[in-house]
Amino acid sequence: METVTIKIRRHDPTVGEAPTLQEYTVPYQEGMRILDALLYIAEGIDPSLAYRYSCKIGNCKVCLMKANGKTVYSCQERLEPGMVLEPLTQFEEVRDLVCDLHKRAEV
Amino acid sequence: MQEKHRILKCDVLVIGSGGAGSFAAIAADDQGADVLIVDRGVLGKSGATVTAGHTCCSAQGPDDSPDLHFFDTVQGGYFVNNQKLVEVYTSEAPERIRELDAFGANFFRKEDGEFWLISPPGGHSRKRSVFYGYQTGPAFMRGFMAEIKRRDIRWQDNTIVTSLLTDGSRAIGATALDVQSGEFLVLEAKAVVLATGGYGQLWAPKTTTPVEAAGDVLAMAFDAGAELVDMEFVQFLPMQIGPKVKHLNPTIANFPGWREEIRKAARMVNSEGQEILYQYDRRGLYTTRDVRAMAIYNEVRHGKRVYLDLTQVPMEIIEEEFEESWPGSYLPLLRKENYSLTETPMEISVGAHYCMGGIRIDEHCRTSVPGLFAAGEVTGGVDGANRLGGNAITEIIVFGKRAGDSAAQYADTAAEARADAQAVGSEKATVLGLLEKSGDVSPISAKSKLQQIVWDDVCVLRTEQGLKRALVAIEELRGKTLAHLGLTSQTKAYNLEWIQAILLPRQLDVAEAVARAALARTESRGSQRRADYPEQDNENWVKNIILRKENGGMMLETHPAVITKLDPSEAISWKP
């Protein structure tokens, strides 16, 4: 089975520990999106991962995150080997890939 | 002792902020009520409204009337709609659409300034859909958010409601959890509006519904004494699953119009190249969408893939069809993404799209619990056994407004709400206690198990054997999981395991309600397809199934459908 390994920034600001980049390996399917990988990880590998989504069709825009530094919709963007996933930087972080979309981060 | 929690007070508590909740909040605010909106997702971006593509119906055209719209809707619902609700819907829809347009939805207009109306998908006898390209849902929500902001209505999002509070005779609010901070909240209200959408996520990942449509709120309302109606009616649609094209709505598989040149040359085939529709209906692609859904389901559940093959259709004809039927539609998107419908067959599956069933309401959106109102997909009755495309989005705003009006009027004379400290304390202990669970069952994988049970046996094609198997499996899952849940993380910050642990028992209840109702209806009608009862039985089943909590169990009874204007016996002779 073809697999893909990606890295996800893990951080819980409610605990006083430094962020880490955690590696996950997921089965790969042609055309797979980032969100497909996140769902797989949460259901099969690590249910403690925090990520946000709603409509899965690119309309609601709550699944925005950074993939290799570029801002993307995780429900629409194709998954690539070695991808590094991080939360948006312009909003206050909540945990892992989730931000508070109402609160601008202090610069 | 427990730490203190925040109490938020209001006149009208609106739970859910899609189209129904937003209009309810605006209407209640109009009446002078102090309103609080609560949503589990992100305000303005949560729920199914934002997913709407093109269609949004109301009788606006010079050749149209609420009566025609009424007849189409009741025929389309196979005569088990609550006709009182359909009358309200079709007569108030035109005005609500104009109001929403003025809030800022800005639907497309023709050169003469009138709304540009297009044909909704099958079953409507007139062009009656306003639209905003293929982004009608987002336009809707932009309009609502502008109005909510203008009115400065209070809101609290990222917050799931965990239980409804009653004082024994009426609804007085809810308990809730802010999922970003993990803070437990008590929401005290003189009246409560439920506008939280359907239960389509029970079939995830095979669904077009958003993650918020978990269905838990229906079980919560049931628990508080509200009745559920038509729970067996769940609409499934063919949905596009491949190739993956950015921003392409999966409902494109319900191809625009299906004009003759396309239907003649198009084929629906399985991975072995066999045509799959003719065995069910000699009309092939001309068949209705419930038959298409059943054909696809039967292939997919046996491990085959299904394709809509348009490779023999000239691209000009497809382009013409799009331009005509769906202006401002996917063509530019498909070109940009370099996907030609006529080069690669479209892989399709079937997905839960809309729940016709839900909380039983009257025409004032009252549930059977005083002070508790409901509107939108969380309710049942308007659509009967099948919803016509383009009706959902308008229905939710018609009843959203009514629910807001009714709730504000109720709140006006209702006594101050005071949550019972003991009830609150016990709910808080339960919710916070879930965080400490250290059993060996992950709530997330337990939810996946439930979804598998429902997909296997409470899906497009049902049998007595399958439904009974599902009921046993649901009971087993309840017994094996609820006492043995375990979370790998105890953080209070956006803990998806914790959220799922809260939702799970409610979702089990809702799945049971669907299976029980589907088992009781010993016929096929609209979206309810029984392999063992393939015929529609008008003799015995122009009825609705109602579920009520009694002595801790699910009591099921049938009521004759509410008929005001159109008797089923007239159906055959009536033509629009």
Distance, in angstroms, between B350 CA and closest chain A CA?
16
User: What pLDDT, on the 0 to 100 scale, is given for residue B572?
Assistant: 53
Nearby residues of B95 by Cβ (< 8 Å), 6 or more positions away: none
Please, which pLDDT band fits residue B176 given cuts at 50, 70 and 90? Answer: very high
Task: Please report the DSSP string for A41-74 in residue order.
Answer: IIIII-TT-----S-SSSSS-TTEEEETTEEEET
Which residue, chain included where needed, has tokens 């109602």?
B546
Q: How far, rounded to the nearest angstrom, does the alpha carbon of residue B321 sit from its chain's CA centroid?
A: 28
* β B346-355/B184-194 pair status: unpaired
Pick the residue from chain A with its C-alpha nearest to B42: A62
Give mean pLDDT, residues B38-57. Answer: 92
- The alpha helices in B414-495, defined as continuous H runs, are 421-435, 443-457, 464-481
Closest CA to B324 of B258, B389, B387: B258
- Read off the pLDDT of residues B198-249 as tens digits, 9 standing for 90 and up: 999 999 999 999 999 999 999 999 999 999 999 999 999 989 988 888 888 8
Asked if B250 and A57 touch (Cβ cutoff 8 Å), the reply is: yes
- Read off the pLDDT of residues B424-448 as tens digits, 9 standing for 90 and up: 999 999 999 999 999 999 999 999 9
Q: What is the DSSP letter of B395?
A: H
Burial class (CB in 10 A: 0-12, 13-18, 19+), B339: middle
User: Touching check for B180 and chain A: CB below 8 Å?
Assistant: yes
User: Which residues of chain A fall below pLDDT 50?
Assistant: none
Architecture of domain A3-104: Roll (3.10)
Nearest-angstrom CA–CA distance, B218 and B237: 23
User: What pLDDT, on the 0 to 100 scale, is given for residue B37?
Assistant: 98
- Between positions 70 and 99 of A, the ones with CB within 8 A of B are 76-78, 94-96, 98
User: What pLDDT, on the 0 to 100 scale, is given for residue B274?
Assistant: 93
Asked if A82 and A104 touch (Cβ cutoff 8 Å), the reply is: no
Q: For residue B225, which amino acid is it? A: G
pLDDT at B574 over 60: no
Q: List domains and CATH numbers for chain B.
A: 6-233+356-414 (3.50.50.60), 236-351 (3.90.700.10), 422-541 (1.20.58.100)
Closest CA to A99 of A86, A82, A84, A81: A86
User: Touching check for B127 and chain A: CB below 8 Å?
Assistant: no
- Sort out which chain B residues have CB atoms less than 8 A from A10's CB and list them: none
Question: CB distance B210–A39 less than 8 Å?
Answer: no
Question: CB distance B50–A100 less than 8 Å?
Answer: no
Note the maximum CA span of chain A: 44
User: Touching check for B17 and chain A: CB below 8 Å?
Assistant: no
Cα-based distances in Å from B242 to B116, B238, B304, B445: 32, 12, 14, 26
User: Touching check for A101 and chain B: CB below 8 Å?
Assistant: yes
Structure tokens at A86: 């991080």
Structure tokens at B165: 């509070």
User: What pLDDT, on the 0 to 100 scale, is given for residue B172?
Assistant: 98
- Sort out which chain A residues have CB atoms less than 8 A from B353's CB and list them: none
Mean pLDDT, chain B, whole residue set: 93
**How many C-beta neighbours within 10 Å does residue A27 have?**
13
pLDDT at B575 over 70: no
User: What pLDDT, on the 0 to 100 scale, is given for residue A10?
Assistant: 98
pLDDT at B114 over 50: yes
- Sort out which chain A residues have CB atoms less than 8 A from B445's CB and list them: 43-44, 47
Residue B59: phi and psi, rounded to 5, are -80, 90
Query: What are the structural domain ranges in chain A?
Result: 3-104
Question: CB distance B180–A94 less than 8 Å?
Answer: yes
Burial class (CB in 10 A: 0-12, 13-18, 19+), B423: middle
User: Residue B349 forms beta bridges with which residues?
Assistant: B239
Task: Please report the DSSP string for B252-320 in residue order.
Answer: GGS-STT-HHHHHH-EEEETTS-B-STTT-TTGGGS-HHHHHHHHHHHHTTT--EEEE-TTS-HHHHHH
Question: CB distance B493–A53 less than 8 Å?
Answer: no
Pick the residue from chain A with its C-alpha nearest to B181: A94
Asked if B45 and B419 touch (Cβ cutoff 8 Å), the reply is: no
Distance, in angstroms, between A45 CA and closest chain B CA?
10
* β B154-156/B35-38 pair status: parallel
User: Touching check for A15 and chain B: CB below 8 Å?
Assistant: yes
Nearest-angstrom CA–CA distance, B367 and B205: 31
Of A50, A100, A101, the CB nearest to B496: A50
Question: CB distance A54–B42 less than 8 Å?
Answer: yes
User: What pLDDT, on the 0 to 100 scale, is given for residue B255?
Assistant: 66
- Read off the pLDDT of residues B244-302 as tens digits, 9 standing for 90 and up: 888 888 888 876 566 788 888 889 999 999 999 988 888 787 777 778 899 999 999 89
User: What pLDDT, on the 0 to 100 scale, is given for residue B573?
Assistant: 47
Residue B254: phi and psi, rounded to 5, are -90, 75
Asked if A79 and A8 touch (Cβ cutoff 8 Å), the reply is: no
- Between positions 363 and 382 of B, the ones with CB within 8 A of A are none
User: What pLDDT, on the 0 to 100 scale, is given for residue B576?
Assistant: 37
Q: For residue B520, which amino acid is it? A: A
Give mean pLDDT, residues B151-177. Answer: 97
Cα-based distances in Å from B350 to A68, A75, B347, B481, B523: 34, 19, 11, 29, 22
- Residue count (chain B): 576
- Read off the pLDDT of residues B449-483 as tens digits, 9 standing for 90 and up: 999 999 999 999 999 999 999 999 999 999 999 99
Pick the residue from chain A with its C-alpha nearest to B244: A31
User: Touching check for A16 and chain B: CB below 8 Å?
Assistant: no
Please, which pLDDT band fits residue B46 given cuts at 50, 70 and 90? Answer: very high
Residue B136: phi and psi, rounded to 5, are -65, -40
Give mean pLDDT, residues B101-124. Answer: 88
Q: For residue A36, which amino acid is it? A: D
Pick the residue from chain A with its C-alpha nearest to B251: A57
Pick the residue from chain B with its C-alpha nearest to A74: B246
Nearest-angstrom CA–CA distance, B177 and B432: 10
User: What pLDDT, on the 0 to 100 scale, is given for residue B258?
Assistant: 67
Highest mean pLDDT among B20-24, B108-112, B242-246, B267-271: B20-24
- Sort out which chain A residues have CB atoms less than 8 A from B243's CB and list them: 31
Question: CB distance A49–B41 less than 8 Å?
Answer: no
Question: CB distance B250–A50 less than 8 Å?
Answer: no
Question: CB distance A94–B488 less than 8 Å?
Answer: no
Of B41, B137, B246, the CB nearest to A59: B137
Give mean pLDDT, residues B409-435. Answer: 96
